[in-house]
Amino acid sequence: MARSLDTLSASQIRDGIVAGDFTATEVAHAALDAVQQRDGSVQAFLQVSPELALAAAKRVDDARAAGEELPPLAGVPLAVKDNMNLVGTRTTCASKMLGNYESVYTATCVRRMLDAGCLPVGKANMDEFAFGSSTESSAFHRTNNPWDLERVPGGSSGGSAASVASGEVTLALGSDTGGSIRQPAALCGVVGMKPTYGAVSRYGVVAFGSSLDQVGPFGRSVRDVALAMNALVAGGHDPMDSTSQDCPVDFTEHLEDGVAGRKVGVIPALMEAKGLTDEVRSAVQGAAESLRAQGAELVEVDLPNLDAAIAAYYVLGPCEAFSNLARFDGVRYGYQEPNCATLTEQSELSRARGFGAEAKRRQMLGAWLLSSGVYERYYLAAQKARTLITRDYAAAYEKVDVILMPACPRTAFKFGELSDPTQMYLSDLYTISINIAGNGGVSVPLGLGAESGLPTSAQLVGPAFRDRDLLTFARAVERGAAEAAGKDASSGVTALSVAPDFAGKGGEF
Ligand code: GLN
């Protein structure tokens, strides 16, 4: 019987290679075949890298032939967000500014996934420089949600989420500054984790908001995400990113511990927030009930300063982006306008023509917010709000182990539906405060919404460097969702699998 990558977990792929049931090269060809057959409609990739995937597969097969022990993600197909450097690929940030930029070194997070045996299938589409929640601001093309091609996959890591949801790859890397892993995971029905700030090195990842940016994985099950986390933290502190910390834990170790006797925070005000749809609210309430049924205690908590989170983020983020993106001046990196009379003209025209509308909006906003007189009113106020929000979370975590809330107020929206940027910004309500506080968060799929028929999800957030614990709760939510859908909950396969229109299209071997 033909096997399909759609139904294999990361560890099943490795185990099959170890057992000699199939080779990593066969897996690579199957993944490339799935991309070939599916990506014409999904458009998750900006660049496919068959040579790199096949070379990595050969290394795995050679290691097995030599009798070596295979690394934990041997032969697992991986998509890499296009703001992460990988030698042998361009790193474009989905911007004309970096359209021809060849990676000169490999980002630590990508290196670690490769060291764990992953096969790099390609670079995933994103919002330009990671500004956005829909992947519509990519300078190259849109990415379609595998559950409904007329809808967005979320963003900014929309290509990464869609590549996993469509079964083109088993794992993907994304980055999350204000929700860019958790929100697209929610809209595409996959698991997406933003680890605690500092858990994963950002060396080689193009910076957006340096006090907020964090790298994390997407997968179709909590267990796959835990295995990816193991790979990302292996090796500990990265001397090339001074914010990176040693987190020497095995993220799979307590996955099946259950949640009996644990405390789960719920925030009634957040469940009544404007814009939250009934189907997402009832899905999250269902997840809360399932945690209770598994023995957890639900405890009401309050985050009194949460109202300030979106405003604070949309001050801090643009200020940091303005500083980080100043390097794209048409001299050192990226697009250079030809035939300019002066250096100033070259810089101005390169920036004017290299950046898209949202990237310009953020940088202009950042420049203004940091100007004298304005800085005190907004930037300083946002920093104060940040302190208050961080304290709110710390106080809540004295009472509970984790907090359960939506990841996104609604299911996937149509292209162009949120055309006013502030409307798009407001949809980040549930994800942004976690980056502000620097804590971890994970989005877990809950099954299809009663009204939209599209994936719904819940988000679990936890204290700093308790990301392993967070995954124990995520696994319990996943188990509950699988049971509710009448699926085998023990298998570790998520409640939702590959989007039905794509399952079985290529990827067999
Ligand atoms: N949607 C948010 C923004 O537009 C978050 C983006 C991100 O996390 N990179 O800034």
Taking residue 240's Cβ as centre, other Cβ atoms within 10 Å add up to 13
Say if ligand 1 is within 6 A of residue 131 CB: yes
Token pair of 249, please? 């834990």
Angstrom distance (rounded) from CA 151 to CA 124: 17
Q: Which residue puts its alpha carbon closest to atom 4 of ligand 1?
A: 132
The CA distances from residue 62 to 69, 112, 117, 118, in Å, are: 11, 19, 12, 14
Is 317 near ligand 1, meaning CB less than 6 Å away? yes
| Strand 171-176, strand 191-194: pairing | unpaired
**Residue 332 binned pLDDT confidence (cut-offs 50, 70, 90):** confident
pLDDT band per the 50, 70, 90 thresholds, residue 493: low
Q: pLDDT per residue over 462-488, tens digit each?
A: 999 999 999 999 999 999 998 888 877
| Within-domain flag for 346 | no
Q: Report pLDDT for 491.
A: 59
| Beta strand spans in 163-271 (E) | 171-176, 191-194, 214-219, 263-266
Q: Active-site residue numbers? A: 81, 156, 180
In a domain, 270, yes or no: yes
Q: Which domain range does residue 230 map to?
A: 10-238+245-305+387-491
Q: Is the CB of 179 under 6 A from ligand 1?
A: yes
CA distance 220 to 507: 16
Q: Which of 148, 178, 219, 172 is nearest to 449 (CA)?
A: 148
Does any ligand 1 atom lie closer than 6 A to the CB of residue 25? no
Q: How many domains does the chain have?
A: 1
pLDDT in tens, 159-203: 999 999 999 999 999 999 999 999 999 999 999 999 999 999 999
Question: Ligand 1, residues 95, 125, 126, 127: which to mutate, most atoms within 8 A of Cβ?
Answer: 127
Domain membership of residue 351 (yes or no) is: no
In the three-class reduction of DSSP (H, G, I as helix; E, B as strand; rest coil), residue 465 is classed as coil
- Structural domain contains residue 170: yes
Burial class for 239, CB neighbours closer than 10 Å (0-12, 13-18, 19+)? exposed
Span 400-428, average pLDDT? 95
Q: What are phi and psi of 124, to 5 degrees?
A: -95, 145
In the reported structure, the alpha carbon of residue 344 is separated from the centroid of ligand 1 by a whole-number distance in angstroms of 30
Question: What is the best residue among 81, 138, 177 to mutate for testing ligand 1's pocket, by most ligand atoms within 8 Å of CB?
Answer: 177
The answer to whether residue 349 is domain-embedded is no
pLDDT at 483: 87
Rounded CA separation 306/309 (Å): 5
Q: With bands split at pLDDT 50, 70 and 90, how would you rate the model's confidence at 240?
A: very high
180 CA: nearest ligand 1 atom = 8
Q: Hunting for tokens 């914010």 — which residue is that? A: 243
What CATH number does residue 157 fall under?
A: 3.90.1300.10
Q: Cβ atoms within 10 A of the Cβ of 92, count?
A: 26
Determine the pLDDT at residue 92.
98
Please give the distance, rounded to the nearest whole angstrom, from the Cα atom of residue 424 to the centre of ligand 1. 10
Per DSSP, the three-state class of 343 is helix
Decide if 170 contacts 231 (C-beta within 8 A).
no
Q: Is 314 in the pocket of ligand 1 (CB under 6 A)?
A: no
Q: How confident is the model at residue 495 (pLDDT cuts 50, 70, 90)?
A: very low
Mutate to test the pocket of ligand 1, among 82, 93, 127, 133 (most ligand atoms within 8 A of CB): 133
Q: Phi and psi for 478 in degrees, rounded to 5?
A: -60, -40
**Ligand 1 touching residue 452 (CB < 6 A):** no
Assess if residue 147 is contained within a domain.
yes
> pTM of the predicted model, to two decimals?
0.98
Going from the Cα of 4 to the center of ligand 1, the distance in angstroms, rounded, reads: 34
Q: For residue range 194-234, what is the model confidence (pLDDT) as tens digits?
A: 999 999 999 999 999 999 999 999 999 999 999 999 999 99
Q: List all residues 6 or more positions away from 421 whose beta carbon is below 8 Å from its beta carbon.
A: 358, 361
Query: Residue 250 carries which side chain, given as an amino acid letter?
Result: D
Give SS3 for 459.
strand
| Residue 208 CB less than 6 A away from ligand 1 | yes
- Verify whether ligand 1 is closer than 6 Å to residue 157 (CB atom): no
Token duo for residue 304? 């009194």
On whether residue 120 sits in a domain, the answer given is yes
Average pLDDT over residues 73-92: 98
Q: Residue 404 has what pLDDT?
A: 98
Q: How long is the chain?
A: 509
In a domain, 125, yes or no: yes
Average pLDDT, the chain: 96
Tokens of 204: 């080689």
